Homo-oligomer: A and B are copies of this chain.
Amino acid sequence: MQDLPTPGLRERKREQTRHRLESAAIEIALEEGLDHLTIDALSERADVSPRTFFNYFDSKEDAILGMRTQDDTEQLVSEALEQMHPDTVLEGVLELLTTVGRGPDHDLHEQRHRVLREHPELLQRKFTHMGRMLAPLTEGVRTLMTRLSAEHADDAPSAAHAQVMLMTCGAALRAATAELARGHRDLSTEASTILLRARAAALVRETAGILK
């Protein structure tokens, strides 16, 4: 979890540049509107060439959302799995998803949310990235399931079951997030995360109940 022992100058500069790019994208979006945000202006404010921008993000939308080109999901998943000791599969998956879901740069969360309020279309972009994260996440879920259902000793959970479980919990979290967001709330605090998981868990159970 802590790779703090000096990530090296190289890594630090890279993080700084990434942060400047995200920051510039969000600021311009707020100041001049999303449609006036151009790659050129963005990269100029971040003091890099337009070409370099694409070394960090696939599009200006991704920069606003803070979704990097490079995919660290696999790393994040394995780290999260080590840290957690859930009692049930449902709890475990929800914790995994909420943990992996939140990225760095908490100082940008506030402004980011403001942009998203003005441009809900941006959220659609997240679906694209879900595709990339799908494989590692599914593997993580499968690990959780085997780890926890060993006690039950019923049939072996397949990758297919993991996929279904993953998407179910993901959908519940999104719905719960939307609910909490509608009723004001910060969403970035520890307390709200607990609330989020609880609401999502309830949603999953209730929906499962309808199946019978």
Contact = CB atoms under 8 A, between A and B. Distances in A.
Contact of A164 (B124, B149, B155, B203): B203
Interface in A139-168: 145, 149, 154-155, 157, 159-161, 163-168
A183 B174 CA distance: 34
A139 to B, nearest CB: 14
A157 B206 CA distance: 9
Chain A interface, >50% SS class? helix
A89 B165 CA distance: 18
Given A127-B128, A210-B145, A211-B90, A175 B203 contact: no
Counting chain B CB atoms within 10 Å of each CB, which of A88, A155, A157, A208 scores highest? A208
A51 to B, nearest CB: 21
A186 interface: no
A195 interface: no
A160 B132 contact: no
13 contacts: A88-B211, A89-B211, A124-B131, A128-B128, A149-B210, A154-B209, A160-B175, A160-B176, A161-B203, A163-B174, A165-B210, A167-B167, A205-B211
